Structure 1
Amino acid sequence: MHEIDLTDPAVLRDPFTAYQGSGRVVRLHVPGMPMWALTSHEDARAMLTDPRFAITSRSFAGIPGVPPEHDEYLRTMSELDGPNHLRLRRLAAPAFTARRARDFGPSIEPIVARLLSAPVTDLVADFARPLPMHVICELVGIPDADRPDWVAWGATVAAMDVEGLGRAIPGIIESAKSVLASRPEHGLLADLTTEDERLSATELVTLVWQIVLAGQTPANLIANAVAELWTRPDVLETLRAIPSLLPGAVDELIRWCGPQLLTVPRYATTDVDLFGTPVPAGEPVTVAIAAVNRDPAAFRDPNRFDVTRQAATHLGFGHGPHFCLGAAHARVQTEVALAGLLSRGLTLTSNPDEHRAPDPGTWRLTALPVTLDR
């Protein structure tokens, strides 16, 4: 049995290489929570649709400063299984289709232009991190006067600042409740609020909290994408010459340097033979996204970055019942952001690897110093 220590500096520096040749099932050593991990694309898809593996609550309840009365809003549908999850997802899904995301793209363009018109010296702090919350505000229908607070809350959530979360979570929830009470005529809450109240008020506010959490993915993806693309002048030239390649390039970037390294753990509900490895009931199993997205059985020449590759089968957004509800929006937001950056003169002013966070679950940058021609 191959074992990987996720606290090993070599693994933190290059998790993609760490999994190569490790076998179909590996044992991950994580402080306080050792778990099994799948490295095969085919095996991962099978496990993520197997009802013998269930998600348990990852609620943010109990964070210092969050009043107990807000607990009911903190367990999102991504933490639910079975009929309740299916009902919520079926009701919310029409607002998150690829067509809706594509139609929303023009609303993102002025946000990108506005952020890039201001001084940008750190792409993470000045652009990649604030952009998703500005987009979420537009998507949800947050009033203009409230948006600066939401941007600040989003930065706290993205940084996973525990002390700050105690202040941010109540603010997000109370503001979302206020917007819902005003019966908005535009935005996501307007779309999901109907006369028969298909989603309850609590479910709608909880959905907003889920959007805030998941909405931070583009922040890390955009920063990773810039760190990758702007060290490849030939690829930049290709994308500028053939803009139609950009949607496919985004999928290749998710496959190659997407922010999620591991899926949310599933727990075996019974003793399971996991492709030859016995897993006792109650033990956590994850998918090593860093491995499955470079599985040679799923991708030809997987260790080559290629923006012309058809990489949409990657598992960067998961698979099965818990496939990321906002995947289409994340793709479009990243595409619009990169298009805006490609139209300007941007230069990296330090090695991105110097700013890589030592995070075993997320491939992300804490900063990305740049110069940007406005």
Structure 2
Amino acid sequence: MLNSENARNDIPEIAMIDPEVLHNPISAYGQARERSPIVRLMAPGYGSIWAVTRHGDAKAMLGDSRLAMTADSWNQRIPDDIKPYMLTMSHMDGADHGRLRKLAVRAFTARRVAARRDMILKSTERLLDALPGHAEQGTVDLLEHFARPLPTFVVGDVMGIPEADRPLWRAYVARMGSGQTYDDALRDAVAGAKQVVALRREEPGDDLVSDLLQAQAEAADRITDTELVTMVWHTVFAGQDNLANFIANSVVALLSHPEQLAALRADPGLMPRAVEELMRWRPPLLLTAIRYALEDFELCGAPVRRGDSVVAVIASANRDPRVFADPDTLDITRPAGTAVQFGFGHGPHYCIGASLAAVEAEVALGALLNRFPDLALAVPPEEVPRLPNPGSWHLTALPVTL
């Protein structure tokens, strides 16, 4: 095993505050991939993070039991009164993770996702009906008035949140910033989750919270009250922001690739493959969540030590020429099964809502393109405003003309 400081220092470094990384991270990570299978991300406040850049190595790393999503990976600055509700399933491993995941996946079976397609379509159509009324000087912000509210409504339905309360959960996500605003948003989310649990305890429905309460009634050790509340707020949060940005990113990608848009309009049956390709080409998350090394070991030739932070670079692995032909090209006819893309993760922490998210995206994009055949970007693609961030591709607005 490599253990010398020289070996550690020979690994290329990427400063995450470098303007090129902030503004053009996909290109920066792609260049890093061709230099080395592993790099060191230098992140203010986090120190050095090992980052696996290539597809095969990322796939192996995401299933490596020597790396764990430990409790230390959630924010230790969280106030004590809400800290018990911060240990989410995403930060668990082993038996506890498996126990909760087994309960949560009930809401995301193929049957239950298919049963919600009609609800998703009706929600989509309602938002599309309202879009012209949001136009200002002929321009509509599709992120604000379509891509963001749709996932909020859908995940609210899945969780059993009353329709009138769902905009509150969208506001909680929007308030997630820093300092007091961050803490207050979390407190409100936890309080809201407790209200949902109390409501569904009295009025069960066809939703995940009711399922979890039924499981708890059958055997109290299957899920605690704290775990239940935690799962509610975290699932609602996870089901909103990234999917909203994926839908928005996909619209930009299609409108800036007219040949792909034409192919999709000509054959709507391509939509499932298009969604998969769009997630490969422009995922909302560019890096995975941090894993922590449980022991010293060698990873891609680098000497990882116990306690070190490790991520996979989704953006570079999804465009690795070793597994994807012409990887920088958006091709919605790319043969299915070429290789797994990591937009939904991989391994034990693969997104439990991936199938629902894919259906949401398929319905949203299909209905949008059908309703507005003249849909176009109101600004050049490179001028669509994006939050400079080395870890995500999140827009701040999506100006379009209908």
Is 2:97 aligned against 1:85?
Answer: yes
Within the candidate set 305, 308, 312, 1:283 is matched to 308
**Any idea what SS the aligned residue of 1:35 has?**
strand
Contact 2:37 2:52 in 1 (8 A): yes
**1:64-143 residue pairs with structure 2 within 5 A?**
68-118=80-130, 119-120=133-134, 121-143=140-162
Displacement of 1:161 after TM fit?
5.5
Is 2:294 aligned against 1:266?
Answer: no
Structure 2 portions without partners, runs of 5+:
1-10, 135-139
Inter-partner Cα distance in structure 1 for 2:326 and 2:169:
42
Residue-pair matches, total: 367
> 2:182 maps to what in 1?
165
Displacement of 1:263 after TM fit?
0.6
Structure 2 counterpart of 1:117, one-letter code = D
Structure 1 62/8 Cα, relative in aligned 2: closer, same or farther at 3 Å? closer
Within the candidate set 285, 309, 313, 2:340 is matched to 313
Deviations 1:192-245 (A, max 9, x none): 321315433322221112212211211110111111111122211211121111
CA RMSD of aligned residues (A): 1.9
Contact 1:348 1:369 in 2 (8 A): yes
**Any idea what SS the aligned residue of 2:39 has?**
strand
**Any idea what SS the aligned residue of 2:118 has?**
helix
> 2:377 maps to what in 1?
348
Inter-partner Cα distance in structure 2 for 1:87 and 1:234:
46
Contact 2:157 2:163 in 1 (8 A): no
Inter-partner Cα distance in structure 2 for 1:102 and 1:205:
26
Inter-partner Cα distance in structure 2 for 1:14 and 1:132:
27
Is 2:192 aligned against 1:180?
Answer: no
Structure 1 portions without partners, runs of 5+:
none
Inter-partner Cα distance in structure 2 for 1:356 and 1:254:
17
Instruction: List structure 1 runs of 4+ shifted beyond 6 angstroms.
Output: none
> 1:196 maps to what in 2?
218
> 1:328 maps to what in 2?
355
Inter-partner Cα distance in structure 1 for 2:232 and 2:360:
18
Which of these two proteins has the greater Rg computed from alpha carbons? Answer: 2
Displacement of 1:188 after TM fit?
1.7
Contact 2:23 2:389 in 1 (8 A): no
Inter-partner Cα distance in structure 2 for 1:61 and 1:142:
29
Inter-partner Cα distance in structure 1 for 2:400 and 2:320:
33
Inter-partner Cα distance in structure 1 for 2:75 and 2:297:
29
Structure 1 counterpart of 2:45, one-letter code = G
Is 2:259 aligned against 1:234?
Answer: yes
Contact 1:258 1:316 in 2 (8 A): yes
Bigger mean CA offset, 147-156 vs 354-363: 147-156
Displacement of 1:162 after TM fit?
4.9
Inter-partner Cα distance in structure 1 for 2:224 and 2:339:
34
Structure 1 110/315 Cα, relative in aligned 2: closer, same or farther at 3 Å? same
> 1:31 maps to what in 2?
44
Displacement of 1:185 after TM fit?
2.0
Contact 2:256 2:381 in 1 (8 A): no
Within the candidate set 34, 59, 67, 2:74 is matched to 59
Structure 1 counterpart of 2:114, one-letter code = R
Structure 1 98/125 Cα, relative in aligned 2: closer, same or farther at 3 Å? same
Using structure 2 for the length normalisation, give the TM-score: 0.86
Displacement of 1:69 after TM fit?
3.1
Structure 2 counterpart of 1:109, one-letter code = L
Displacement of 1:16 after TM fit?
2.0
Displacement of 1:173 after TM fit?
2.0
**Any idea what SS the aligned residue of 1:296 has?**
coil
Using structure 1 for the length normalisation, give the TM-score: 0.92
> 1:247 maps to what in 2?
272
Bigger mean CA offset, 328-337 vs 53-62: 53-62
